[in-house]
Amino acid sequence: MITHQEDPAERVFLLSSGQGRHFLTTSEGRRILLHWLTPGQMFGGAAIISTPCQYLASTEVLVDSCALVWERQAIREIISDCPALLDNALSIAVTEKIAWLIAAHVSLSADDAHGRVAHLLMSLASAIGKVTHRGVDLKVLNEDLAEGANVTPFTVSRCLRDWEQAGLVAKRRGGILLRKPELLLAAS
């Protein structure tokens, strides 16, 4: 765990290697995945804001990872000396985070369960997938997909089984191989 939801936002991070994700924990203890992080992405941006605030989500890394870290006061001083950094941080927030939230909201409003899982798989394929000669390899669990698509793990299993029978995916321990990602949305 790197940041904890509702802790004071005291640091900004830049993921230089590895993989992570943001998530919320509801009052009932349910985890809701928000956004996957890849190298080059910044998180903990709430520490940049002039008024001290809390992290809105928790952040965890999933594999061996490395991140650059700036304390709140240091990053505030750097930004005052170089305002272009604030522009970059806001640009990242708008282009990556808000665009992802819009796509997630549209999917939740317009897609059925198969469509939501398919859209999430396509999003993850472009963000964290490894392209191989057999397809796009994703290291995600059914529970991750269920949390991210707002469905049950049983529904994810059913979707994957349907797509596996159609030859679009191959389910294996600890991950999924998207054999024909270009056909996944059409099949949902």
Instruction: Return the minimum-mean-pLDDT range out of 20-24, 93-97, 117-121, 157-161.
Output: 93-97
What pLDDT was estimated at residue 132? 94
Query: Quick one: 25 and 86 in the same domain?
Result: yes
What pLDDT was estimated at residue 2? 96
**Measured between alpha carbons, how far is 163 from 166 in angstroms, rounded to an integer?**
5
Query: Quick one: 86 and 146 in the same domain?
Result: no
What pLDDT was estimated at residue 178? 95
If one compares 85 and 18, the residue with the highest pLDDT of the two is 18
> Please, which residues bridge with residue 36 across strands?
21
Average pLDDT score over residue span 67-88: 91
Question: Tens digit of pLDDT for each residue in 39-70?
Answer: 988 899 899 888 999 999 999 998 899 999 99
Mean pLDDT taken over the chain: 89
**Measured between alpha carbons, how far is 18 from 10 in angstroms, rounded to an integer?**
22
Query: Quick one: 89 and 101 in the same domain?
Result: yes
Query: Quick one: 87 and 117 in the same domain?
Result: no
What pLDDT was estimated at residue 100? 64
Please indicate, yes or no, if residue 163 is contained in any of the structural domains: yes
Please indicate, yes or no, if residue 5 is contained in any of the structural domains: no
Q: Looking at residue 67, which CATH number applies to its domain? A: 2.60.120.10
What are the C-alpha distances in Å from 47 to residues 17, 31, 73, 136, 160?
21, 23, 9, 35, 39
What pLDDT was estimated at residue 8? 97
> Please, which residues bridge with residue 104 across strands?
none
Query: Quick one: 97 and 25 in the same domain?
Result: yes
Query: Quick one: 154 and 66 in the same domain?
Result: no
Instruction: Return the minimum-mean-pLDDT range out of 6-20, 24-38, 59-73.
Output: 24-38
Is 72's pLDDT higher than 90?
yes
Who contacts 54 (Cβ-Cβ below 8 Å, separation ≥6)?
A: 5, 6, 7, 8, 9, 46
What pLDDT was estimated at residue 83? 86
Please indicate, yes or no, if residue 2 is contained in any of the structural domains: no
If one compares 38 and 96, the residue with the highest pLDDT of the two is 38
Please indicate, yes or no, if residue 4 is contained in any of the structural domains: no
Is 176's pLDDT higher than 90?
yes
Please give the share of the chain, as a percent, with pLDDT higher than 70: 94
Q: Is the pTM of the predicted complex or chain greater than 0.85?
A: no
What pLDDT was estimated at residue 47? 93
Domain boundary, last residue among 71, 92, 108: 108
Query: Quick one: 100 and 122 in the same domain?
Result: no
Domain boundary, last residue among 75, 108, 141: 108
Query: Quick one: 95 and 122 in the same domain?
Result: no
Pairing of strands 135-138, 31-37: unpaired
Total residue length of the chain: 188
Average pLDDT score over residue span 11-22: 94
CA torsion, points 154, 159, 165, 169, in degrees to nearest 10?
A: -110
What pLDDT was estimated at residue 179? 94
Domain boundary, last residue among 108, 124, 149: 108
What are the C-alpha distances in Å from 76 to residues 42, 43, 48, 79, 172?
15, 15, 6, 5, 46
**Closest to 132 (Cα-Cα) out of 183, 182, 179:** 179
**Measured between alpha carbons, how far is 113 from 102 in angstroms, rounded to an integer?**
18
Give residue 63's domain range. 11-108
